[in-house]
Amino acid sequence: MTMTAPPPGKKLNRIGLELQAYRGSKTTLCAGCGHNAISERIIDACFELGIEARQVLKLSGIGCSSKSPAYFLASAHGFNSVHGRMPSVATGALLANQKMLAIGVSGDGDTGAIGIGQFVHLMRRNLPLVYIIEDNGCYGLTKGQFSPTADVGSTLKNGVVNDLPPIDTCLMAIELGASFVARSFSGDKKQLLTILKAALSHRGTAMIDVLSPCVTFNDHQGSTKSYAYVKDHDDPVSEVSFVPYFEDISIEYDPGTTHEVSLHDGSRIYLKKLEEDYDPTNKEQAVRVLHETAARGQYATGLLYVEPQKPDFCSLLNLVDEPLAHLPLERVRPGREVLEEIMERQR
Amino acid sequence: MSSTDLARESSAATPGASRVVNDFSIQVATVNGSGSQTANLILIRSIFQMGIPVSGKNLFPSNIAGLPTWYTIRANKHGYIGRKKEIDLLVAMNPETAKEDVLTLDAGGVVIYDEPLNLKALRSDLVFYPVPFDKLVAPVCPDAKLRRLVRNMIYDGVLAHLLGIDLGEMEKALNRQLGKKQKALALNLGALRAGADFAAANLPKQDALYIERMNETAGKILIEGNAAAAIGCLMAGVTVVGWYPITPSSSLCENLIDYMRKYRMDKETGKATFAIVQAEDEIAAIGMVIGASWAGARAMTSTSGPGISLMAEFTGLGYYAEVPAVIFDIQRVGPSTGLPTRTAQGDILSTAVLSHGDTRHPLLLPSSVRECYTMAMDAFDLAERLQTPVFVMSDLDLGMNMWMSDPFAYPERALDRGKVLDRETLTRIGEWGRYKDVDGDGIPYRTLPGSDMPSYFTRGSGHNARGQYSERADDYVNNLERLQRKFETAKDLVPAPEIDRRDDVRIGLIAYGTSHWAIVESRDQLRQEADLDTSYLRLKAYPLAASVEAFLRDHDRIYVVEQNRDAQMASLMRMEYPAELTAKIRSVLHFNGLPIDARSITDSVLAQEGFAVGAGVRQEVAGPAAVGGE
């Protein structure tokens, strides 16, 4: 007779849930697809932050990337909308219920091509939304055509060379008014997770461009979005760490080498200097560094820009605290005297 | 106005003839941007205040300033407020169009004109009243820069004297319009009196047109359809609005913004119980509406034809993913940019089936400003009840012109928020599936984000009754058939047609929207001129109620009257009804950008009925059933 040890206690988060509670349905994307790793990090981030999945909206457009909301947070409300137009759907949904935490997942075609117009105006509005671009430089679902984030000189599998300059979504987002802009790599588990946790704690548009290689159509020699290329050309601007508001941890840091950023909910981000001292609240520096690293053929990753106190769109619209969607009749239909007053003015 | 716009028919007012009281039309021809709007508004209001049924049609160019504009006011003691083709009195202020405007008048017409235009020489069969506007405006408006804006008020003064409009009523209307702007008020009052004084001293009455007090407008209001629709949205409890400016719909959302800011701020906190966003385009506007409605808000947008085209893809998503949306289409003349400031009913067919794949959408068809108000409320209830996009098909004529109406009644009915799953229902139905037809009416139960009910994944891709992704043939077919069942359910939920059925009458008329007003008058003309009695069915919505089919069955010949070229509503009927019924349908089509008028309908029906229509009444027509060429 042998004694079997009891199963080790499963790890529970601060609201008493297991990691399993944050999973979605089984992925139908290719094995090894960067997007799956991103879904995993979203699951980890929500688990670690103790987010209630039911309070989350997951929205997407169309494409491989946009399928992924089905693969995380099964109990969240999801909306796989139309190609390139997720920002408007997210805008409407958040205006209807600003209490929800919204995660939008897009792709480089969904954002950079068909959706560039809505992307631009989303950034301008600073809607409280985590906007993730799963960026592989190609259209996977239609079998590998170039997208607008493909670099000049990058090649398709069949040898066709891209001769148009790429759209840098991070540069655009910074210029347009997004209040949290980051770039990461699906293969960098630690950095991506940290950035996601910070983004989920930020109030305003958190735009994260995640380089996410397409193993089927864009992972070959000659592609600048392959695992090997991104790994070799990843140039983090700083080392990022995150302390959520509910963790009572005091961090000792050297102000000469580390920047601290406090978010509206009391969470803190720490950015430790690597080569150059990088101040993520300095727009000019962010823009310069992005241009310089791109010129070297590298990817500046990390938290590129943050403006934690910038008013988000719902604040600008001066909305009542309760979700508009759930206001009772008496608060949305004015009384008889109002109609009478209006009628009187037309007589 | 160009000659193509006017029929030549001998008209009422000839010198020495008997008095024509409260039954004529006035056309004011000005230059866009010259401030004539105030003068025209004062004119229509003062006639209205004197108790005479009146309507105003603004015919304006797609331009800020400089192009010709015409404003037509029709006073009619019988209460006919549709457009009248013939102009009885012309106020010619625009040098560019004056000559043609005068040449196209019927003999006996009356012309008030700016003296230097020297129009008198053009014709000998009209009554001319020259008025030296520049000479009159100078003493009352010392600031030369403002004269251009005040000058038009002079013709109101002249008209007041010549027609017998009470100057006091004009002053009252002016006060109401400019009361807060004391300086402008004083200048305009001065110009008004200068015009009246000049006419009294220099213009002996030579025509037969008179305005005399009646009591037909007591308690009534004058309002534009877009403002009426905005009041409807306010009362319907709209909370999220996404819109993009486009003529002729912009004033709907602009009115709504004013009303919401005034009446929908939370009293305790001073915060807004609504969000209105001017979107980057119509696609984003409808996207916001879909997102907001999905999350449980009452959301709407307002647009016109080009915007409707852009909204096609999202409308299909709303249909297939079953998300409510309220869309106002203030129709203008297409295709493409078309005539952006002219009216039409040209979006009926394309909107009924907007988007790719098999789709059908409920359309509400307001005829009056009151229906703009009530149907706005109906639209929100229907969209949430049916979980689908609902279109309110207004038009430029209704939306942007002033209409007389009884005041609007306060809504007594609570909001219908539709089938939103709650504990009680969940217990009753046992297992919930987002697209499961529990009640047999094709309408499933939905859940809202942020509630304690189960969540689901909304998608425009294939899905089964539980809302899961599916490419299975049976899932697809089941879903499409259920959506069809839901559309059948809609037939009994949308506003029912209004039917005036006459016994032993073989001819039926079917119309919708603004054509109604011309139909009312045309039916009287048919009776008076040709002893033709007609039944009349006014459509208030699509899908078509069962009573429409019965109406087709019960009449030998049915004239479907529409303001488009392609007989769009008749086409929807042909899609739905058996050939033996649709064979009875004939069309009366009017599509020149001007509001339809009774004369055009009467002539077309008479011609198709085999009556000889008097020469000169009708000019060449585009086809046997069309009067679009007018």
Residue B377 pLDDT exceeds 50: yes
- Chain B residues in contact with A81 by the CB 8 A cut-off are 287, 290-291, 317, 460
Domains and CATH numbers, chain B: 3-210 (3.40.920.10), 224-405 (3.40.50.970), 423-493 (no CATH), 498-608 (3.40.50.920)
Separation CA B207–CA B203 (nearest Å): 11
Tens digit of each residue's pLDDT (9 = 90 or more) over B501-517: 988 999 999 999 999 99
Minimal Cα–Cα distance from A340 to chain B, Å? 8
Q: Which of B279, B295, B454 sits opposite A93 (nearest CB)?
A: B295
Residue B281 pLDDT exceeds 50: yes
Biggest CA pair distance of chain B = 86
Chain A residue at shortest CA distance from B408: A343
C-alpha atoms less than 13 angstroms from C-alpha of A321 in its C-beta half-sphere? 2
B512–chain A Cβ distance below 8 A for any pair = no
Which of A332, A337, A340, A341 is the best substitution to test chain B (most B C-beta atoms within 10 A)?
A: A332
Contact assessment for residue B421 and residue B453, using Cβ atoms and an 8 Å cutoff = yes
What's the mean pLDDT in B114-120?
95
Q: What is the pLDDT of residue B286?
A: 98
Tens digit of each residue's pLDDT (9 = 90 or more) over B590-623: 999 999 999 999 999 999 999 987 543 444 333 3
Residue B293 pLDDT exceeds 60: yes
CA dist list (Å): A94 to A34, A126, A225, B181: 28, 12, 33, 41
Tens digit of each residue's pLDDT (9 = 90 or more) over B171-205: 999 999 998 999 999 999 999 999 999 999 999 99
A4 pLDDT band (50/70/90 cuts)? low
Minimal Cα–Cα distance from B232 to chain A, Å? 10
Q: Which of A77, A82, A97 sits opposite B460 (nearest CB)?
A: A82
C-alpha atoms less than 13 angstroms from C-alpha of A252 in its C-beta half-sphere? 0
Residue B626 pLDDT exceeds 50: no
CA dist list (Å): A291 to A167, A168, A297, A300, B523: 12, 9, 10, 9, 74
- Cβ of A91 within 8 Å of Cβ of B242? The answer is yes
Residue A3 pLDDT exceeds 70: no
CA dist list (Å): A201 to A51, A197, A308, B6, B265: 10, 6, 10, 67, 30
B450–chain A Cβ distance below 8 A for any pair = yes
Q: What is the pLDDT of residue B352?
A: 98
Which of A28, A73, A91, A122 is the best substitution to test chain B (most B C-beta atoms within 10 A)?
A: A91
- Chain A residues in contact with B454 by the CB 8 A cut-off are 75
Q: How many residues does chain A have?
A: 347
Residue B2 pLDDT exceeds 50: no
Residue A259 pLDDT exceeds 80: yes
Separation CA B313–CA B306 (nearest Å): 13
B292–chain A Cβ distance below 8 A for any pair = yes
- Chain B residues in contact with A55 by the CB 8 A cut-off are 450
Q: Which of A79, A85, A320 sits opposite B458 (nearest CB)?
A: A79
B186–chain A Cβ distance below 8 A for any pair = no
Q: Which tokens go with B27?
A: 């056309």
Tens digit of each residue's pLDDT (9 = 90 or more) over B465-477: 999 999 999 999 9
Minimal Cα–Cα distance from B284 to chain A, Å? 5
Residue B142 pLDDT exceeds 90: yes
CA dihedral sign of residues B451, B452, B456, B457: positive
Q: What is the pLDDT of residue B212?
A: 98
Q: Which residues of B390-426 are buried (b: 16+ CB within 10 A; e: fewer)?
A: bbbbbbbbbbbbbbbbebbeebeeebebbbebeeeee
Q: What is the pLDDT of residue A1?
A: 46
B236–chain A Cβ distance below 8 A for any pair = yes
- Chain B residues in contact with A90 by the CB 8 A cut-off are 291
Can you say whether residue B164 is alpha, beta or left, with left for phi > 0 and alpha for psi between -120 and 50 degrees? Answer: left
Residue A343 pLDDT exceeds 60: yes
pTM, to two decimals:
0.95
Q: Which of B242, B272, B415 sits opposite A318 (nearest CB)?
A: B272
Contact assessment for residue B146 and residue B167, using Cβ atoms and an 8 Å cutoff = no
Separation CA B165–CA B175 (nearest Å): 16
Q: What is the pLDDT of residue B445?
A: 98
- Cβ of B297 within 8 Å of Cβ of A77? The answer is no
| In the block, residue with structure tokens 């000792």 | A252
Q: What is the pLDDT of residue B367?
A: 98
Residue B124 pLDDT exceeds 90: yes
Domains and CATH numbers, chain A: 19-319 (3.40.50.970)
What's the mean pLDDT in B129-140?
97
- Cβ of A93 within 8 Å of Cβ of B291? The answer is yes
Q: What is the pLDDT of residue B4?
A: 35
- Cβ of B317 within 8 Å of Cβ of A82? The answer is yes
CA B351 to chain centre: 17
A254 pLDDT band (50/70/90 cuts)? confident
* Best CA proximity match to B303, nearest among B335, B278, B271, B268: B278
- Cβ of A346 within 8 Å of Cβ of B236? The answer is no
Q: Which of B227, B270, B313 sits opposite A82 (nearest CB)?
A: B313
The count of CB pairs under 8 A between chains A and B is: 212
ipTM: 0.96
Residue B544 pLDDT exceeds 90: yes
B17 pLDDT band (50/70/90 cuts)? low
What's the mean pLDDT in B245-256?
98
B466–chain A Cβ distance below 8 A for any pair = no
Separation CA B300–CA B293 (nearest Å): 9
On the 0-12 / 13-18 / 19+ scale of CB atoms within 10 A, A3 is exposed
Chain B residue at shortest CA distance from A316: B275
- Cβ of A332 within 8 Å of Cβ of B277? The answer is no
Tens digit of each residue's pLDDT (9 = 90 or more) over B438-450: 999 999 999 999 9
- Cβ of B415 within 8 Å of Cβ of A318? The answer is no
DSSP conformation letters of A50-78 = T--GGGEEEEE-SSHHHHGGGGB-TTSEE
Q: Which tokens go with A40?
A: 């995993």
* Best CA proximity match to B62, nearest among B351, B259, B306: B306
Tens digit of each residue's pLDDT (9 = 90 or more) over A109-166: 999 999 999 999 999 999 999 999 999 999 999 999 999 999 999 999 989 999 999 9
- Chain A residues in contact with B220 by the CB 8 A cut-off are 347
Which of B294, B381, B416, B468 is the best substitution to test chain A (most A C-beta atoms within 10 A)?
A: B294
- Cβ of B271 within 8 Å of Cβ of A320? The answer is yes
- Cβ of A334 within 8 Å of Cβ of B469? The answer is no
Tens digit of each residue's pLDDT (9 = 90 or more) over B341-361: 999 999 999 999 999 999 999
Provide the H-helix boundaries in B104-224: 133-140, 144-150, 153-163, 167-178, 182-202
What's the mean pLDDT in A15-29?
97
Q: Is A259 helix (H, G, I), strand (E, B) or coil?
A: strand
Tens digit of each residue's pLDDT (9 = 90 or more) over A279-332: 999 999 999 999 999 999 999 999 999 999 999 999 999 999 999 999 999 999
Tens digit of each residue's pLDDT (9 = 90 or more) over B198-220: 999 999 999 999 999 999 999 99
Peptide bond into B335 cis (omega under 30): yes
Q: What is the pLDDT of residue A7?
A: 60
Interface of B with A in 359-418 (CB under 8 A): 407-408, 410-411, 414-415
A244 pLDDT band (50/70/90 cuts)? very high
Radius of gyration over alpha carbons of chain B, in Å?
26
Q: Who wins on pLDDT, B570 or B7?
A: B570
Residue B627 pLDDT exceeds 70: no
Q: Which of A88, A96, A342 sits opposite B295 (nearest CB)?
A: A96
Phi, psi of B455 (to 5 degrees): -90, 170
Chain A residue at shortest CA distance from B234: A333
- Chain B residues in contact with A95 by the CB 8 A cut-off are 240, 275, 277, 288, 291-292, 297
Contact assessment for residue A212 and residue A186, using Cβ atoms and an 8 Å cutoff = yes
Q: Which of A70, A100, A317 sits opposite B275 (nearest CB)?
A: A317
Which of A57, A343, A345 is the best substitution to test chain B (most B C-beta atoms within 10 A)?
A: A343
B200–chain A Cβ distance below 8 A for any pair = no
Q: What is the pLDDT of residue B628?
A: 39
What's the mean pLDDT in A55-72?
97
Contact assessment for residue A140 and residue A159, using Cβ atoms and an 8 Å cutoff = no
B8 pLDDT band (50/70/90 cuts)? very low
CA dist list (Å): A65 to A59, A131, A212, B225: 11, 12, 10, 45
Q: Who wins on pLDDT, B622 or B399?
A: B399
Which of A28, A339, A341, A344 is the best substitution to test chain B (most B C-beta atoms within 10 A)?
A: A339
Residue B101 pLDDT exceeds 80: yes
- Cβ of A96 within 8 Å of Cβ of B292? The answer is yes
Minimal Cα–Cα distance from A26 to chain B, Å? 12
Residue B3 pLDDT exceeds 70: no
What's the mean pLDDT in B299-325?
98
| A169 contacts: CB under 8 Å, gap ≥ 6 | A108, A111, A112, A119, A133, A135, A149, A207, A209
Q: Would you tell me how many other CB atoms lie within 10 Å of the CB of residue B610?
A: 6
Beta bridge partners of A258: A272
Q: What is the pLDDT of residue A8?
A: 66
Residue A274 pLDDT exceeds 70: yes
| A240 contacts: CB under 8 Å, gap ≥ 6 | A191, A194, A195, A198, A269, A270, A271, A272, A302, A303
